[in-house]
Structure 1
Amino acid sequence: MESKQINKNYQVSRKTIFAIIGTGLMSFCGILLETAMNVTFPTLMHVFGISISSVQWITSGYLLVASLVMTLASYMHKRFKLKHIFAVAIGLFFLGLLLCVTAQSFPILLIGRLISGIATGMTTPLLFGIINHDIPLQKLGRYMAIGAIIVSMASIGPTYGGIVLYHLGWRAIFLIILPLAIFASIVGLLNIEQTRPIEKIHLDIVGFIWIAIAFILISLSFNQASAHGWVSFEFWITLILGITAAALYGRHANRTSSPLINIKIFKYKPFVLSFIAYALCQLVNIGMAFLLPNFGQLVLGATSLFAGLLLLPGSLLRLFLMPWGGILFDKKGPRLPIITGISAILMSGILFFGFQSVLTIPLMAVFYAVFSAGFSLTFSNLLTNGMKQLPRPLKGDGNAAFNAIQQYSGSIGASLMATFIGISQSNAHGLSFVKATGLGSRHDFIFLIIMELIMLVLQIVNFKTQKSTSSEN
């Protein structure tokens, strides 16, 4: 079946546009709830009598499950009808919603969030799979930006969560989203078209097991660090076992004819450099979304309402800048928006660190707006630039890898932020809870700055590599 990517008129059908809207809004609902829960952590810690290291699994566990499901995206899109995938995701989303609304204990709430993570793990790759397969290459940058906008609008989650938590309680966060989720379900089911043939391919179960072991062990290692410290045996043995499992997946993928994700994508250096920077960008993004509302409440003593509102200006700024970032990519190429964006992200990290002792909610809102401006120019363009480096037969694997690492790196970001704070609280040595949390937050800001510097260096090298490759061709 002919792909619209080779349509010489560069036209996008009405059904494709509405399919993007339906799948995008469904993904938005899932991610909105994920980010909204960040502002509820102090409340949930009090209600269920748990620590910050435990409550962070509401975010990191959700993202971990979503990332694992996303590793199956390439297989699912080849093996099953896209509309059927979407229908299953809808059912899981509403089941997870029901469990969260009725939860009387933390384990039930966590199970509900994990089931919702499965749903998001199905809908987000579906959104970007439709864009990558059915949008003409000449319009790919702007449509990738549109997809990223729909998903990134969920960055208003802490604001949404803070307002609802303050006025109606945390359970209402799940109920209010219900009408939008129903609307998204209907739009998606009515407009998703099957523009590619179904293939009867083999599921790489062994590969999935190795990836699952790697993801879970690496995530658990940070919990061990929070409980026992960075130099503990428990942290290092769990981390090493996780990395070993990842290496064993690579060995397995080289030996099987139909790997879960074809690791040949990592033979393309510009793709790898974009991929790593994309992962770090999302790690920093989720890290910020976790850290700032909790810093506002636990250190500055702000209410959930104001802690949520501090992210609102930056979140709204993304809506305006992301489309421009995609258009800039299409017209000027990737270097200008990506390098400019990462520089702004780095500047925001330095500002948060330098002014931490005098931070206020308004000042944090300004610094987060700087971060959001940089994120808007960087995030979707790293994905677009990375995908353009792959030949068409590998684009499905690239899409699955990007979507999986987006969620997983977010999970690691939340875990790391909680780990630094948890270690500081455990080793307070006479410091008050507020001061210990502030010290842990300072370590968080330092870590984020280091990640941002690595992103910048990677992309400087990347564009030199792309320029060299282009001149050789």
Structure 2
Amino acid sequence: LNWHFLFIILIPIITVTWLIGELSIEQRSPVHYVSFDLRGGICLAIFLTTTLIFIVNLTANSNSFKLNLFLLGTAFFSGLFFLLNEKNKNHKLLELALFKNKRFLQLLSAFFLLQFSSLSMSYLIPNVLQILFAQSPGLAGFLIAPAAVIDAVLSVVAGIIYDKTAPRLPIISGCTIIGLTFLGANLFTPSIGGLILIYMLFMVGLSFSYSNIVTYSLSQLPASLVNDGNSIYMTVQAYSGAVGIAISSSIVSLLQKQQKSVILGTRWGLSINFLILLLVAVFTLSLCLIALKNKVTKGDKD
């Protein structure tokens, strides 16, 4: 099957999920219809798109100065127009006042970096298994399946730990595991078994920290702002994942061209990506330590 089936296979799953939702979810509170901020939506879409393309061009060592200047200018002005548009709106697309909350911003940044790392790894591991170690797509998918199972199972365990203890324990533990995983990834020569182990350990750390960061961060907001905070997290989730794949793939592609060898370029691209991910992991852990430096408990509002 070609890559189109990645999307075709999802259609019946999404359809069934939609039908189950329609039949089982009840609307128990009054519905309030709010007009969509079309102008703000367009400005935000332009800003996110142009910044993403700009990042890709820089990472891929694009020599198109005029294009990069155009993208940078478009991103700047669309972002500025979005901010000005949201300033006086009664029904804002995103509640930007939340970014003044230091703890919220710190945890949101940590979440951004975790999602960035997650999508980078989901691109790197299967591709490296196929290019460096000549594994078929099917076998590469089979080899990384245990990591997905670990994430699914341990996310539940991490939620229980969060409820029974304090947010600090699963979040800091998870970020520490991720940091140690990438430290090891930079010290050892890549191998099939090594890459699978690295991915599994990474998913252990991710399952402990990722969702719990969102849960804790939103629990610190007033009830009236929880929906706005959730919207910001969902926006960041999609965008950071796109940035992660864009940067990791651009680095590999650039090294493949420079080395004039797909295999050698992929090996160097993997090494550089692992180094970047180690730095990202250290910064993520630092953000979480700062945000959780006080011994906070679930539901603490200070």
TM over 0.5: yes
Q: Counterpart of 2:242?
A: 411
Q: Describe the shift of the 1:264–1:444 C-alpha distance in structure 2 as closer, same or farther (beyond 3 A).
A: same
- 1:234 positional shift: 3.9
1:371-398 Cα shifts (integer Å, max 9, x gaps)? 0100010111010011012111111111
1:442 to 271, 274, 278: 271
- Is the CA contact (8 Å cut-off) linking 1:226 and 1:422 kept in structure 2? no
Q: Counterpart of 1:215?
A: 48
Q: Describe the shift of the 1:427–1:234 C-alpha distance in structure 2 as closer, same or farther (beyond 3 A).
A: farther
Tell me, yes or no, if structure 1 residue 249 matches structure 2 residue 82: yes
Alignment of 1:191-270 (within 5 A): 191-225=24-58, 228-229=61-62, 234-235=67-68, 238-239=71-72, 241-270=74-103
Q: Counterpart of 1:310?
A: 143
Alignment of 1:16-95 (within 5 A): none
1:377-433 Cα shifts (integer Å, max 9, x gaps)? 0111010011012111111111111111101100111101111112222323xx422
1:322-369 Cα shifts (integer Å, max 9, x gaps)? 1111111112121010000001111222222222xx322222111111
Identity %: 26
- Is the CA contact (8 Å cut-off) linking 1:225 and 1:234 kept in structure 2? no
1:34-89 Cα shifts (integer Å, max 9, x gaps)? xxxxxxxxxxxxxxxxxxxxxxxxxxxxxxxxxxxxxxxxxxxxxxxxxxxxxxxx
- 1:209 positional shift: 1.7
Q: Counterpart of 1:351?
A: 184
Tell me, yes or no, if structure 1 residue 386 matches structure 2 residue 217: yes
- Is the CA contact (8 Å cut-off) linking 2:60 and 2:251 kept in structure 1? no
Q: Counterpart of 1:363?
A: 194
- 1:189 positional shift: 1.5
Q: Describe the shift of the 1:385–1:222 C-alpha distance in structure 2 as closer, same or farther (beyond 3 A).
A: same
C-alpha distance in structure 1 between counterparts of 2:278 and 2:66, whole Å: 27
C-alpha distance in structure 1 between counterparts of 2:210 and 2:60, whole Å: 33
1:77-133 Cα shifts (integer Å, max 9, x gaps)? xxxxxxxxxxxxxxxxxxxxxxxxxxxxxxxxxxxxxxxxxxxxxxxxxxxxxxxxx
Q: Describe the shift of the 1:188–1:266 C-alpha distance in structure 2 as closer, same or farther (beyond 3 A).
A: same
Tell me, yes or no, if structure 1 residue 452 matches structure 2 residue 281: yes
2:169 to 313, 327, 336: 336
1:427 to 258, 262, 265: 258
The SS at the match of 2:134 is coil
- 1:447 positional shift: 1.5
Runs of 4+ in 1 over 6 A off after TM superposition: none
1:220-273 Cα shifts (integer Å, max 9, x gaps)? 113323554489564465245425533442333222222111112222221111
Structure 1: gaps of 5 or more residues: 1-164
Q: Describe the shift of the 1:184–1:244 C-alpha distance in structure 2 as closer, same or farther (beyond 3 A).
A: same
Alignment root-mean-square deviation, CA: 2.5
C-alpha distance in structure 2 between counterparts of 1:339 and 1:236, whole Å: 40
Q: Counterpart of 1:293?
A: 126
C-alpha distance in structure 1 between counterparts of 2:155 and 2:122, whole Å: 18
With 292-301 and 384-393 compared, the bigger mean Cα shift is at 292-301
The SS at the match of 1:434 is helix
C-alpha distance in structure 2 between counterparts of 1:256 and 1:171, whole Å: 41
Q: How many residues are matched?
A: 300
C-alpha distance in structure 1 between counterparts of 2:219 and 2:134, whole Å: 46
Q: Describe the shift of the 1:471–1:242 C-alpha distance in structure 2 as closer, same or farther (beyond 3 A).
A: same
**What's the TM-score, normalizing by structure 1?**
0.59
The SS at the match of 1:199 is coil
- 1:466 positional shift: 7.1
With 195-204 and 223-232 compared, the bigger mean Cα shift is at 223-232
Amino acid at match of 1:203: F
1:401 to 229, 232, 241: 232
The SS at the match of 2:293 is helix
C-alpha distance in structure 2 between counterparts of 1:200 and 1:325, whole Å: 37
Q: Describe the shift of the 1:458–1:190 C-alpha distance in structure 2 as closer, same or farther (beyond 3 A).
A: same
- Is the CA contact (8 Å cut-off) linking 1:272 and 1:386 kept in structure 2? no
Amino acid at match of 1:380: S
The SS at the match of 2:155 is helix
C-alpha distance in structure 1 between counterparts of 2:130 and 2:159, whole Å: 35
- 1:292 positional shift: 1.0
C-alpha distance in structure 2 between counterparts of 1:339 and 1:241, whole Å: 38
1:374 to 205, 212, 216: 205
